[in-house]
Chain A
């Protein structure tokens, strides 16, 4: 399985690891002067061991492997099998730097930048006592001598270990080599030679942090440039004024009659002076405008280049992400017992590294859906006369300043009727609404929050946290859009359009409560000025009619929790209509300020996430303007207008206090892990060490909103517990979520048969999956 979201744990690990790495680094230096410091050796051993363990926990297997090698070396030093030798320091530092690098880039594929297998071999050589391992001249070091270590270290894993095979960070390089080839290459040339080769490459490795800092400064320059352009425009206006004054003056002067001249004779000198001054002013202004405009336009070319080139620093080909997909799709196909081939195109299309980092998960999600729902089983395809092997095509290309990524499958397509039926069942639509809905509109229902056509929730699909989350993510984080086209029986195409870079977008600036806010133009359908008389009140809600559709209206200031301001424009009301996930909403603002390109900045290191606010931008005058987060706005606005699906959940929290969950789990670690996850999310947690104990608690009258249970437990299994709960009149309404290491289809079937509401396997277990599932079920 490709890991999906361990980010929360990874962050913890990163914090923890920083400390250990720092200590290990210091330790190496101290050991150089004091190679027999027993206490230090033991501490370093412990640190390396902890690093190994915790990196494995969060799925950073490369780090785990490197730490493992360090541990091996430390064990030998401790046991007196070898002595720390300053010549080992280089290998140690290389290893520690590599861990730092891997840690900082956790979750992204860095195999193009870091040669982990080579490093592991060098470390193994050190562990084997071969000082030559760090000597760059001897290819012989590639063959580590027989391993006396307790845990043999595979120097050339011709057959990758299962974990190694499942990690997403597969070796990726320009020539797209198979892992086997790479091994062979290193075996014949030796790691030392490989190291030399990378040294001669004409590249410099820069920390992304440094690049970001550079980009930060560049964006400041861009802002200054925008400001300068504004000044040039102001100057042009001033120059036009000066010209007007001059011309008016000339006319006045010319029309002065002879008699008037006589009257004005007394101030003749002054008049001549004005004449000169006005002329001079006009000429100077014209000259200055020309000079300044030239300067600005010259600078603007340079700044544009500077921006483009500095952005290019972060550009990477999409293949760095794509190359892990054939493997992922193959795994998925096997899991669903389908036969699927992945065809990829446009792998060399380049994308901002930040976008690239974010794009992996949504793409995996879409492909998962394609394998699960799209591609039919082999027998079915045969019956339909389709090729037995299904095809998923992943194509990337650049269109203007956007990148378009299409994921198409030749599967069953989305059946509008089935989608409508499910939507009616879930209460998103009424029968009559469904009837008047076009097939195309129905297709878009899959982006509805919590939508699913599947009867049981598994971690793969049917959880209803699929496409809505993906779409929200793409709109929110990547400022792009996600569209779907489907032809029943022929297949489905998802089209992802994302800006080339996350740094600059077009935005509409609006004023609300005396403050300016930016709304990304990509989500705006239209801007209107409506007559107050056009506002219709329906059931206490304000709506407007547009093109035969009813659009709910909401004050943006209410969504943002701002006080009303007095300076709101009288007369026509400015409204921004936003379309998102098939909904339209009109936001009333106080005034439109303008539309322009803005540079996106985060809210800084302190405000990690703020509801409704995606970031800020700095306008020409140095003014900081918050950029609004469209998915948040829509969700909150819908809640306010009383149409949101989440409404009941919110109410429930208020009415009934914290939600309760019962965890039945015999493993202490898992139980405590689950407990901490739920408690962090504000739940009250009850626990039981097996199914029988759990059931007893429930029968004694313990009120919970959900039961989370393991399968294999003493006394009563999770399946038995589920059956007991579902067979009990007073308990059967409680949702049961099975969390298990059993992954076989038959077991899942047993879970469904027992009446479980959700089924999550531990191999892909993470807190978001668990919390999302539970939250969805107890609404």
Chain B
């Protein structure tokens, strides 16, 4: 008790004033917290190019970006799996995103080819590398502006896209990693 009494006098402030100050600070910090929360409602997206189209993937799902990799072909896998790569001892599937998205950019990649760049992504417990033509910028958009995929898309395509967002006048599809990274050969 004695110590508490001693403190205000040391500060030269009365107890009332101190309480008021604390309350004011609290109010301010609360207001600020609110404000921060509002701003946090954005999504960061990594853009990439696939043929003529620009697509995006949520930054939170991206583990790393790789260029110049040696793909080992694995026999008897679906055609959109180009093979596997060795990332510091971890074996990661290489997925031909163009083949999955059926992007109208002509032929799918040659199996075992190592052109393009790779985005290592993670969804649930599955890690895979998406092969794309070019890595773009990271953009920040309001979360609310990411809308459900266009209803005009056919169903197969719609499943591979989790949402769309307008950015700089372009419509960008955010790929659905849960669908694209669906494990191969898992027993139902």
Contact = CB atoms under 8 A, between A and B. Distances in A.
Interface of A: 7-8, 216-217, 219-220, 223, 515, 560-562, 601-613, 616, 618, 622-626, 680-681
Contacts of B70: 623-624
A606 B84 CA distance: 10
Given A515-B73, A603-B74, A626-B74, A609 B186 contact: yes
B185 A624 contact: no
Contact of A624 (B72, B77, B126, B186): B72
A560 B95 CA distance: 20
Interface in B141-188: 181, 183-188
Interface of B: 70, 72-77, 81, 84-86, 88-93, 95, 125-128, 181, 183-188
A220 B89 contact: yes
Given A561-B76, A605-B126, A607-B81, 5 more contacts: A220-B88, A606-B92, A608-B187, A613-B74, A625-B72
Contacts of B187: 7-8, 608-609
B183 A605 contact: yes
Contacts of A601: 89, 91
Contacts of B186: 608-609
B72 A626 contact: yes
A557 to B, nearest CB: 9
Contacts of A7: 187
Contact of A216 (B89, B127, B183): B89
Contacts of A604: 84, 90-93, 127-128
A616 to B, nearest CB: 6
B35 to A, nearest CB: 22
B86 A609 contact: no
Contacts of B73: 515
Contacts of B76: 560-561, 610-613
Nearest to B85: A624
Given A8-B187, A613-B74, A616-B84, A606 B89 contact: no
Contacts of B181: 606
A616 B88 CA distance: 14
Given A217-B89, A604-B93, A610 B74 contact: yes
A369 B15 CA distance: 85
B75 A624 contact: no
A624 B89 CA distance: 10
- 3 shortest A-B CB distances, which residue pairs? A609-B185, A606-B93, A624-B72
A602 B91 contact: yes
A562 B75 contact: yes
Given A560-B75, A612-B75, A612-B76, A606 B88 contact: no
Contacts of B188: 8, 680-681
B79 to A, nearest CB: 11
B172 to A, nearest CB: 25
B76, B92, B127: which has the most chain A beta carbons within 10 Å? Answer: B76
Given A8-B188, A561-B75, A612-B75, A605 B89 contact: no
A606 B184 contact: yes
A610 B86 contact: no
Nearest to B181: A606
A220 B89 CA distance: 6
A608 B89 contact: no
A561 B77 CA distance: 10
Contacts of B75: 560-562, 610, 612-613, 626
Contacts of A605: 125-128, 183
Contact of A603 (B84, B95, B125): B84
A612 B91 CA distance: 18
A616 B87 CA distance: 13
B178 to A, nearest CB: 12
A216 B90 contact: yes
Contacts of B86: 618, 622, 624
A607 B93 contact: yes
Contacts of A681: 188
A622 to B, nearest CB: 6
A18 to B, nearest CB: 9
B184 to A, nearest CB: 5
A223 B89 CA distance: 10
Nearest to A224: B89
28 contacts: A216-B89, A216-B90, A223-B89, A515-B73, A560-B75, A560-B76, A562-B75, A603-B74, A604-B90, A604-B127, A605-B125, A605-B128, A606-B92, A606-B127, A606-B184, A607-B74, A607-B77, A607-B84, A607-B183, A608-B183, A608-B186, A610-B184, A610-B185, A616-B84, A622-B86, A624-B70, A625-B72, A680-B188
A606 B124 CA distance: 11
A82 B85 CA distance: 56
